[in-house]
Amino acid sequence: MSRPIRARIDLAALRHNFAVARRYAGTTRLFSVVKANAYGHGLLPCAQALAGLTDGYALLDLADAVALREAGIRQPILLLEGYFDAEELPILAEYGITPALHRADQLEEIELAGLPRRLDVFLKVNSGMNRLGFTGDALTAAVRRATASPAFADVTLMTHFADADGPRGVAWQLDRFHTMLPCWAGPVSLANSAALLRYPETRGDWARPGIMLYGGSPFADIPAEQLELKPVMTLASQIIGVQEIGPGERVGYGGTFTADRPTRVGIVACGYADGYPRHAGTGAPILVDGRRTRLLGRVSMDMLACDLTGLPDSGVGSPVTLWGEGLSADDVATAAGTISYELFCALARRVPVDFVDGEAGGRGGRETD
Protein backbone atom coordinates (compact mmCIF):
# COMPACT_ATOMS: atom_id res chain seq x y z
CA MET A 1 0.00 0.00 0.00
CA SER A 2 1.59 3.29 -1.10
CA ARG A 3 -0.30 5.57 1.30
CA PRO A 4 2.32 6.24 3.99
CA ILE A 5 0.30 5.73 7.16
CA ARG A 6 1.32 2.68 9.22
CA ALA A 7 1.03 1.38 12.76
CA ARG A 8 3.98 -0.35 14.40
CA ILE A 9 3.43 -2.77 17.30
CA ASP A 10 6.52 -3.30 19.46
CA LEU A 11 6.17 -6.72 21.10
CA ALA A 12 9.34 -6.23 23.15
CA ALA A 13 7.72 -3.14 24.69
CA LEU A 14 4.64 -5.24 25.47
CA ARG A 15 6.78 -7.74 27.37
CA HIS A 16 8.56 -4.91 29.17
CA ASN A 17 5.23 -3.52 30.36
CA PHE A 18 4.15 -6.97 31.47
CA ALA A 19 7.34 -7.16 33.55
CA VAL A 20 6.31 -3.90 35.22
CA ALA A 21 2.92 -5.42 36.03
CA ARG A 22 4.63 -8.53 37.36
CA ARG A 23 6.83 -6.44 39.63
CA TYR A 24 3.78 -4.75 41.16
CA ALA A 25 1.85 -8.03 41.41
CA GLY A 26 4.42 -9.99 43.38
CA THR A 27 3.13 -13.54 43.72
CA THR A 28 -0.34 -12.66 42.44
CA ARG A 29 -1.19 -14.41 39.19
CA LEU A 30 -1.89 -12.21 36.18
CA PHE A 31 -4.57 -12.36 33.53
CA SER A 32 -3.29 -10.32 30.61
CA VAL A 33 -6.33 -8.50 29.26
CA VAL A 34 -6.41 -8.91 25.47
CA LYS A 35 -10.02 -7.97 24.76
CA ALA A 36 -10.92 -5.77 21.78
CA ASN A 37 -8.18 -7.28 19.61
CA ALA A 38 -5.67 -6.65 22.42
CA TYR A 39 -6.81 -3.03 22.67
CA GLY A 40 -6.34 -2.69 18.92
CA HIS A 41 -2.80 -4.10 18.99
CA GLY A 42 -3.49 -7.55 17.49
CA LEU A 43 -4.85 -10.45 19.51
CA LEU A 44 -2.70 -13.37 18.38
CA PRO A 45 0.67 -11.58 18.09
CA CYS A 46 0.23 -10.00 21.53
CA ALA A 47 -1.01 -13.20 23.17
CA GLN A 48 1.84 -15.18 21.67
CA ALA A 49 4.38 -12.57 22.75
CA LEU A 50 3.21 -13.04 26.34
CA ALA A 51 2.73 -16.80 26.22
CA GLY A 52 5.84 -17.65 28.22
CA LEU A 53 5.16 -14.96 30.81
CA THR A 54 1.51 -14.52 31.65
CA ASP A 55 -0.55 -16.81 33.88
CA GLY A 56 -3.67 -16.40 31.77
CA TYR A 57 -5.65 -14.23 29.39
CA ALA A 58 -8.86 -12.26 29.85
CA LEU A 59 -11.04 -11.20 26.95
CA LEU A 60 -14.62 -10.77 25.85
CA ASP A 61 -15.47 -12.87 22.80
CA LEU A 62 -15.75 -16.64 22.79
CA ALA A 63 -14.47 -16.77 19.20
CA ASP A 64 -11.28 -15.01 20.32
CA ALA A 65 -10.86 -17.45 23.18
CA VAL A 66 -11.20 -20.39 20.79
CA ALA A 67 -8.68 -18.74 18.45
CA LEU A 68 -6.17 -18.58 21.28
CA ARG A 69 -6.68 -22.24 22.12
CA GLU A 70 -6.31 -23.26 18.48
CA ALA A 71 -3.12 -21.20 18.29
CA GLY A 72 -1.65 -23.34 21.08
CA ILE A 73 -2.38 -21.16 24.12
CA ARG A 74 -2.80 -23.43 27.14
CA GLN A 75 -3.04 -20.98 30.05
CA PRO A 76 -6.43 -20.20 31.64
CA ILE A 77 -8.70 -17.98 29.54
CA LEU A 78 -11.33 -15.87 31.29
CA LEU A 79 -14.41 -14.49 29.50
CA LEU A 80 -14.92 -11.19 31.32
CA GLU A 81 -18.62 -10.92 30.47
CA GLY A 82 -19.18 -14.64 30.50
CA TYR A 83 -21.20 -16.39 27.84
CA PHE A 84 -24.22 -14.91 26.07
CA ASP A 85 -26.19 -17.99 25.01
CA ALA A 86 -26.51 -21.47 26.56
CA GLU A 87 -25.59 -22.96 23.17
CA GLU A 88 -22.03 -21.74 23.82
CA LEU A 89 -21.60 -23.90 26.93
CA PRO A 90 -20.35 -27.04 25.12
CA ILE A 91 -17.66 -24.88 23.50
CA LEU A 92 -16.56 -23.61 26.91
CA ALA A 93 -16.24 -27.18 28.10
CA GLU A 94 -14.48 -28.40 24.97
CA TYR A 95 -11.84 -25.69 25.05
CA GLY A 96 -11.51 -25.30 28.81
CA ILE A 97 -12.60 -21.67 28.90
CA THR A 98 -13.67 -19.98 32.15
CA PRO A 99 -16.76 -17.77 32.14
CA ALA A 100 -17.51 -14.94 34.54
CA LEU A 101 -21.09 -15.45 35.72
CA HIS A 102 -23.28 -12.57 36.85
CA ARG A 103 -26.85 -13.95 36.90
CA ALA A 104 -28.48 -16.82 38.76
CA ASP A 105 -29.99 -18.29 35.60
CA GLN A 106 -26.49 -18.84 34.22
CA LEU A 107 -25.65 -21.22 37.06
CA GLU A 108 -28.85 -23.13 36.37
CA GLU A 109 -28.11 -23.33 32.64
CA ILE A 110 -24.70 -24.80 33.30
CA GLU A 111 -26.14 -27.38 35.69
CA LEU A 112 -28.75 -28.40 33.14
CA ALA A 113 -26.33 -28.50 30.21
CA GLY A 114 -24.89 -31.92 31.09
CA LEU A 115 -21.39 -30.87 30.09
CA PRO A 116 -18.66 -33.51 29.80
CA ARG A 117 -16.41 -31.64 32.22
CA ARG A 118 -16.83 -29.40 35.24
CA LEU A 119 -16.33 -25.71 34.55
CA ASP A 120 -14.10 -23.34 36.44
CA VAL A 121 -16.13 -20.16 36.96
CA PHE A 122 -15.68 -16.64 38.24
CA LEU A 123 -18.65 -15.12 40.05
CA LYS A 124 -18.99 -11.39 39.44
CA VAL A 125 -19.65 -9.40 42.61
CA ASN A 126 -21.33 -6.03 42.20
CA SER A 127 -19.46 -4.04 44.84
CA GLY A 128 -20.55 -0.63 43.56
CA MET A 129 -19.85 -0.40 39.83
CA ASN A 130 -23.52 -1.29 39.26
CA ARG A 131 -23.11 -2.82 35.84
CA LEU A 132 -22.99 -6.62 36.22
CA GLY A 133 -22.83 -8.90 39.22
CA PHE A 134 -24.46 -10.41 42.28
CA THR A 135 -25.28 -8.58 45.50
CA GLY A 136 -26.83 -9.43 48.85
CA ASP A 137 -28.77 -12.66 49.18
CA ALA A 138 -28.36 -13.40 45.47
CA LEU A 139 -24.59 -13.45 45.94
CA THR A 140 -24.80 -15.72 48.96
CA ALA A 141 -27.06 -18.10 47.07
CA ALA A 142 -24.83 -18.09 43.98
CA VAL A 143 -21.72 -18.88 45.98
CA ARG A 144 -23.48 -21.65 47.87
CA ARG A 145 -24.82 -23.16 44.67
CA ALA A 146 -21.56 -22.96 42.71
CA THR A 147 -19.44 -24.44 45.48
CA ALA A 148 -21.86 -27.31 46.10
CA SER A 149 -22.83 -28.26 42.56
CA PRO A 150 -20.97 -31.03 40.68
CA ALA A 151 -21.26 -28.91 37.53
CA PHE A 152 -18.58 -26.51 38.77
CA ALA A 153 -14.89 -26.96 39.55
CA ASP A 154 -12.90 -24.00 40.94
CA VAL A 155 -14.90 -20.94 41.96
CA THR A 156 -13.31 -17.49 42.12
CA LEU A 157 -14.97 -14.25 43.19
CA MET A 158 -14.22 -11.15 41.15
CA THR A 159 -15.18 -7.50 41.20
CA HIS A 160 -14.27 -4.41 39.23
CA PHE A 161 -13.31 -1.01 40.62
CA ALA A 162 -15.14 2.10 39.44
CA ASP A 163 -12.64 4.71 40.62
CA ALA A 164 -9.25 3.09 41.17
CA ASP A 165 -7.79 5.83 39.00
CA GLY A 166 -9.66 8.65 40.73
CA PRO A 167 -10.10 10.43 44.04
CA ARG A 168 -12.69 8.06 45.51
CA GLY A 169 -10.28 5.15 45.37
CA VAL A 170 -11.12 1.54 46.17
CA ALA A 171 -11.60 1.30 49.94
CA TRP A 172 -15.38 1.69 49.78
CA GLN A 173 -15.72 -1.14 47.25
CA LEU A 174 -13.26 -3.37 49.08
CA ASP A 175 -15.29 -2.93 52.25
CA ARG A 176 -18.49 -3.88 50.45
CA PHE A 177 -16.84 -6.85 48.80
CA HIS A 178 -15.56 -8.29 52.08
CA THR A 179 -18.74 -7.42 53.99
CA MET A 180 -20.97 -9.28 51.52
CA LEU A 181 -19.07 -12.56 52.04
CA PRO A 182 -17.04 -12.25 55.24
CA CYS A 183 -16.34 -15.99 55.46
CA TRP A 184 -15.12 -16.48 51.89
CA ALA A 185 -11.69 -18.11 51.91
CA GLY A 186 -11.44 -19.00 48.23
CA PRO A 187 -9.59 -17.15 45.47
CA VAL A 188 -10.47 -13.58 44.47
CA SER A 189 -9.71 -11.37 41.47
CA LEU A 190 -9.85 -7.64 42.13
CA ALA A 191 -7.20 -5.41 40.58
CA ASN A 192 -7.22 -3.77 37.18
CA SER A 193 -4.21 -1.74 35.99
CA ALA A 194 -4.94 1.28 38.18
CA ALA A 195 -5.54 -0.76 41.32
CA LEU A 196 -2.49 -2.93 40.71
CA LEU A 197 -0.28 0.14 40.43
CA ARG A 198 -1.78 2.15 43.29
CA TYR A 199 -3.37 -0.21 45.83
CA PRO A 200 -1.30 -3.26 46.80
CA GLU A 201 -4.12 -4.44 49.08
CA THR A 202 -6.14 -5.30 45.96
CA ARG A 203 -3.69 -7.80 44.49
CA GLY A 204 -5.74 -10.83 45.54
CA ASP A 205 -5.10 -14.16 43.81
CA TRP A 206 -5.58 -12.90 40.23
CA ALA A 207 -5.03 -9.38 38.89
CA ARG A 208 -6.18 -8.20 35.46
CA PRO A 209 -3.79 -5.64 33.95
CA GLY A 210 -5.03 -4.12 30.72
CA ILE A 211 -4.09 -0.62 29.55
CA MET A 212 -0.70 -0.65 31.26
CA LEU A 213 0.39 -3.60 29.10
CA TYR A 214 0.02 -1.41 26.03
CA GLY A 215 1.94 1.52 27.46
CA GLY A 216 -0.97 3.72 28.49
CA SER A 217 -1.28 5.22 31.95
CA PRO A 218 -4.54 4.54 33.78
CA PHE A 219 -4.08 7.84 35.64
CA ALA A 220 -4.81 11.30 34.28
CA ASP A 221 -2.13 12.85 36.49
CA ILE A 222 0.70 10.32 36.10
CA PRO A 223 2.36 9.90 32.69
CA ALA A 224 3.16 6.43 31.44
CA GLU A 225 6.88 7.20 31.42
CA GLN A 226 6.77 7.86 35.17
CA LEU A 227 5.30 4.39 35.60
CA GLU A 228 8.18 2.97 33.50
CA LEU A 229 5.78 1.94 30.73
CA LYS A 230 6.78 1.94 27.07
CA PRO A 231 4.48 2.66 24.11
CA VAL A 232 3.59 -0.49 22.20
CA MET A 233 1.68 1.11 19.32
CA THR A 234 3.16 3.89 17.20
CA LEU A 235 0.91 5.40 14.56
CA ALA A 236 3.01 7.15 11.92
CA SER A 237 2.55 8.81 8.55
CA GLN A 238 4.10 11.55 6.41
CA ILE A 239 3.56 15.09 5.23
CA ILE A 240 2.02 14.84 1.74
CA GLY A 241 1.50 18.54 1.01
CA VAL A 242 2.37 22.02 2.25
CA GLN A 243 0.36 25.25 2.03
CA GLU A 244 1.58 28.78 2.77
CA ILE A 245 -1.21 30.96 4.15
CA GLY A 246 -1.42 34.51 5.39
CA PRO A 247 -3.05 36.16 8.40
CA GLY A 248 -6.80 35.78 8.36
CA GLU A 249 -6.84 32.68 6.16
CA ARG A 250 -8.50 29.54 7.48
CA VAL A 251 -7.75 25.83 7.37
CA GLY A 252 -9.99 22.84 6.79
CA TYR A 253 -13.71 22.14 7.04
CA GLY A 254 -15.55 24.92 8.81
CA GLY A 255 -12.42 27.03 8.92
CA THR A 256 -12.03 26.39 12.62
CA PHE A 257 -8.40 27.57 12.58
CA THR A 258 -7.63 31.12 11.49
CA ALA A 259 -4.01 32.13 11.01
CA ASP A 260 -2.88 35.21 12.91
CA ARG A 261 0.47 35.35 11.09
CA PRO A 262 2.09 33.84 7.98
CA THR A 263 1.76 30.09 8.52
CA ARG A 264 3.16 26.98 6.89
CA VAL A 265 0.54 24.24 6.95
CA GLY A 266 1.56 20.61 6.56
CA ILE A 267 -1.02 18.09 5.35
CA VAL A 268 -0.70 14.62 6.90
CA ALA A 269 -2.03 11.38 5.42
CA CYS A 270 -4.13 10.48 8.42
CA GLY A 271 -7.75 11.14 9.31
CA TYR A 272 -10.62 9.90 11.38
CA ALA A 273 -11.18 6.98 8.99
CA ASP A 274 -7.76 5.76 10.11
CA GLY A 275 -8.74 5.98 13.77
CA TYR A 276 -7.43 9.43 14.63
CA PRO A 277 -10.00 11.18 16.85
CA ARG A 278 -12.14 13.60 14.87
CA HIS A 279 -12.84 15.58 18.03
CA ALA A 280 -9.17 16.52 18.33
CA GLY A 281 -8.68 20.13 17.31
CA THR A 282 -6.16 22.91 17.05
CA GLY A 283 -3.38 22.41 19.56
CA ALA A 284 -3.38 18.63 19.77
CA PRO A 285 0.26 17.49 19.78
CA ILE A 286 1.93 15.88 16.80
CA LEU A 287 5.56 15.08 15.92
CA VAL A 288 7.09 16.08 12.59
CA ASP A 289 10.69 15.06 11.99
CA GLY A 290 10.81 14.16 15.68
CA ARG A 291 9.86 17.68 16.77
CA ARG A 292 6.66 18.53 18.56
CA THR A 293 4.16 20.81 16.85
CA ARG A 294 0.37 21.13 16.78
CA LEU A 295 -2.70 20.09 14.87
CA LEU A 296 -4.52 22.85 13.00
CA GLY A 297 -8.25 22.97 12.43
CA ARG A 298 -10.65 20.09 12.00
CA VAL A 299 -9.62 16.49 11.34
CA SER A 300 -11.13 15.20 8.09
CA MET A 301 -11.71 11.64 6.96
CA ASP A 302 -8.35 11.06 5.31
CA MET A 303 -6.18 14.05 6.22
CA LEU A 304 -5.29 16.45 8.97
CA ALA A 305 -3.28 19.65 9.05
CA CYS A 306 -0.39 20.63 11.28
CA ASP A 307 1.72 23.71 11.91
CA LEU A 308 5.11 23.71 10.15
CA THR A 309 5.82 27.40 10.75
CA GLY A 310 8.57 26.68 13.24
CA LEU A 311 9.91 23.73 11.25
CA PRO A 312 11.43 25.30 8.11
CA ASP A 313 13.28 22.13 7.14
CA SER A 314 10.17 19.96 7.24
CA GLY A 315 8.03 19.40 4.18
CA VAL A 316 6.66 16.76 1.83
CA GLY A 317 7.95 13.36 2.89
CA SER A 318 8.77 14.37 6.46
CA PRO A 319 7.89 11.61 8.93
CA VAL A 320 4.99 12.24 11.28
CA THR A 321 4.16 10.51 14.56
CA LEU A 322 0.52 10.73 15.55
CA TRP A 323 1.14 8.89 18.82
CA GLY A 324 3.55 6.33 20.21
CA GLU A 325 7.32 6.48 20.40
CA GLY A 326 8.27 10.06 21.30
CA LEU A 327 4.66 11.21 21.74
CA SER A 328 2.49 9.66 24.42
CA ALA A 329 -0.94 8.50 23.32
CA ASP A 330 -2.13 9.82 26.67
CA ASP A 331 -1.11 13.37 25.66
CA VAL A 332 -2.97 13.09 22.36
CA ALA A 333 -6.01 11.61 24.06
CA THR A 334 -6.10 14.37 26.67
CA ALA A 335 -5.98 17.01 23.95
CA ALA A 336 -8.86 15.24 22.21
CA GLY A 337 -10.94 14.93 25.37
CA THR A 338 -10.73 11.15 25.49
CA ILE A 339 -8.49 8.36 26.79
CA SER A 340 -5.72 6.33 25.18
CA TYR A 341 -7.89 3.19 25.33
CA GLU A 342 -10.16 4.73 22.69
CA LEU A 343 -7.27 5.74 20.44
CA PHE A 344 -5.82 2.23 20.44
CA CYS A 345 -9.13 0.45 19.95
CA ALA A 346 -10.18 2.81 17.15
CA LEU A 347 -7.25 1.96 14.87
CA ALA A 348 -8.93 1.28 11.52
CA ARG A 349 -8.58 -1.93 9.55
CA ARG A 350 -7.31 0.01 6.56
CA VAL A 351 -4.12 1.00 8.42
CA PRO A 352 -1.28 -1.45 7.70
CA VAL A 353 0.28 -2.88 10.85
CA ASP A 354 3.87 -4.03 11.30
CA PHE A 355 4.77 -6.23 14.25
CA VAL A 356 8.33 -5.77 15.41
CA ASP A 357 10.19 -7.54 18.17
CA GLY A 358 13.41 -6.08 19.50
CA GLU A 359 14.41 -9.46 20.92
CA ALA A 360 13.48 -11.68 17.99
CA GLY A 361 14.16 -9.53 14.98
CA GLY A 362 11.12 -8.21 13.15
CA ARG A 363 8.10 -9.51 11.36
CA GLY A 364 5.30 -7.93 9.42
CA GLY A 365 1.69 -8.62 8.73
CA ARG A 366 -1.76 -7.37 9.59
CA GLU A 367 -3.61 -8.87 12.54
CA THR A 368 -7.24 -7.84 12.37
CA ASP A 369 -9.25 -10.50 14.15
Q: Which one from 57, 83, 253, 272 is the annotated catalytic residue?
A: 253
Condensed to tens digits (0 to 9), the pLDDT of residues 212-244 reads 999 999 999 999 999 999 999 999 999 999 999
**Could you tell me the pTM of the whole model?**
0.94
* Confidence grade of residue 365 (pLDDT, cut at 50, 70, 90): low
> Over pLDDT 70: what percentage of the chain?
97
Taking the C-alpha atoms of residue 183 and residue 286, their distance in angstroms, rounded to an integer, is 53
- 253 is an active site residue: yes
Condensed to tens digits (0 to 9), the pLDDT of residues 294-350 reads 999 999 999 999 999 999 999 999 999 999 999 999 999 999 999 999 999 999 999
Q: 277-305 in b/e burial notation, b at 16+ Cβ within 10 A?
A: beebbbebbbbbbeeebbbbbbbbeebbb
Q: Which one from 35, 57, 272, 341 is the annotated catalytic residue?
A: 35
Residue 367 in this model has a pLDDT that exceeds 50: no
Q: Give me the mean pLDDT over the 124-133 stretch.
A: 96
What local confidence, expressed as pLDDT, does residue 368 receive?
Answer: 41
Question: Which backbone phi and psi does 301 adopt, to 5 degrees?
Answer: -60, -40
> Over pLDDT 90: what percentage of the chain?
95
What local confidence, expressed as pLDDT, does residue 369 receive?
Answer: 38
Ordered alpha helix ranges (H), the chain: 11-25, 35-40, 43-49, 62-70, 89-95, 104-112, 136-148, 171-180, 193-198, 329-335, 340-345
Write down all domains in the chain, each with its CATH number in brackets.
11-217 (3.20.20.10), 233-364 (2.40.37.10)
Residue 356 in this model has a pLDDT that exceeds 50: yes
What local confidence, expressed as pLDDT, does residue 358 receive?
Answer: 76
**Pairing outcome for strands 119-124 and 152-158:** parallel
Condensed to tens digits (0 to 9), the pLDDT of residues 2-38 reads 999 999 999 999 999 999 999 999 999 999 999 999 9
Q: Give me the mean pLDDT over the 83-99 stretch.
A: 98
Condensed to tens digits (0 to 9), the pLDDT of residues 53-84 reads 999 999 999 999 999 999 999 999 999 999 99
Q: Give me the mean pLDDT over the 189-216 stretch.
A: 98
- E strand segments, the chain: 6-10, 29-33, 56-59, 77-79, 98-101, 119-124, 152-158, 188-189, 206-207, 233-245, 250-251, 257-258, 263-268, 285-288, 291-296, 304-307, 319-323, 353-356, 362-364
Do residues 266 and 288 lie in contact, with contact meaning Cβ atoms separated by under 8 Å? yes
- The residues, any chain, with a CB within 8 Å of residue 191's CB and separated by 6 or more, are 28, 161, 164, 199, 202, 203, 204, 207, 208, 209
Taking the C-alpha atoms of residue 28 and residue 154, their distance in angstroms, rounded to an integer, is 17
- 230 is an active site residue: no
